[in-house]
Chains A and B, each alone.
Chain A
């Protein structure tokens, strides 16, 4: 646990559950960094950026300086939609084209 903010380490999201808990810290950090890289590719057209926060949660930020903290991947999309004012719909052809 982080002594300053009380944040618990690790993630509760289902997508992290196949990671071996005995896995080296560096491996888990690498996996988390890759997850953040991919999310940023998705959020880029929405002008929202995601950053790691203490390896325990995420910070979403807009170009205008709005910032929100989210605990796990499940909360990222809803919060990013709120910040950008646009829906993030993977079934939307325009959204998929924006990734290219």
Chain B
């Protein structure tokens, strides 16, 4: 019997400066659905919590009216998380069920997952949760051109919330959607209404949070191929997404060795990898999910869809094209594995 308490998810809200992170966080804090949360932010002043503030309950921690705990990040994130866990364990703050972390607008949220999984204490209590990225529709194009971190924020997202859509016309919104399709076609999309009334969907995109049905496992990878309305994104020659398809079962050991090598050498340019895999000798689909250097512990889904047992693996990369990755994996599996290799091709 396993009595180990479940790992608490650390959800991340990121987005470029002025994209609406604070508005979203205020709504989350005001919502009863997200009680029992601990919120980590960089400065209290940005969120303006004064009217909800009940009082200080521990050093750096404040109890909010909906039961949430709010703390500041001073110094290292890992220190802040450890302090939060320690205060929870000692009963100094309520026993929260999740942590919501708001990053600064200029931060790349990718390394947060590795902060949690690489820390010998944190990884026994916490797990990476859902990455929510706010996209300012009005300034998306400008931000992308001027700040490379904007692409990284979009690429790691499980959920994209598009804000300020009321300030642009339909054609401009379509361009923004195309831009997001080019970088991260697999992320769940929510509109600006999510800022005011965040629903359960906000943090529901992570495979850790739900037991997928067979069809949900495949839909988690997003549509097969989104149709963009223009070829105007040729200048997006840095960040790109592509999907590998496998015909045949996969030698998991061989794939794991190849992927760990790839991440060792190119992890900072593999912004995202996610897939549903048919592993040799395993009747259940395996869900693979990672951000930059960090791959989350793979999970099984109970069944394949009746008519679809094909493995798919999505990559979002910076400066690495689909041909190089496909050719590498094909050659590697063919030469290293003891088992027949699947045919691997990209879309």
- Show the binding face of A for B, using Cβ within 8 Å: 13-15, 17-18, 31, 34-35, 37-39, 41-42, 73-74, 76-78, 87-91, 96, 99-100
Contact = CB atoms under 8 A, between A and B. Distances in A.
A19 to B, nearest CB: 9
A42 B265 CA distance: 15
B68 to A, nearest CB: 31
Contact of A88 (B254, B265, B325, B337): B265
Contacts of B282: 18
Q: Of residues B258, B265, B327, B336, which shows the largest number of chain A Cβ atoms within 10 Å of its Cβ?
A: B265
A38 B286 contact: no
B161 to A, nearest CB: 29
Given A15-B259, A88-B261, A96-B331, 12 more contacts: A14-B297, A15-B260, A18-B282, A18-B298, A35-B256, A35-B257, A38-B257, A41-B335, A42-B261, A90-B328, A96-B332, A99-B331
Interface string B226-263: 00000000000000000000000000111011111110
Contact of B332 (A34, A74, A90): A90
Interface in B7-35: none
Interface string B316-347: 00001000110110011001111000000000
A70 to B, nearest CB: 12
Nearest to A19: B252
B242 to A, nearest CB: 14
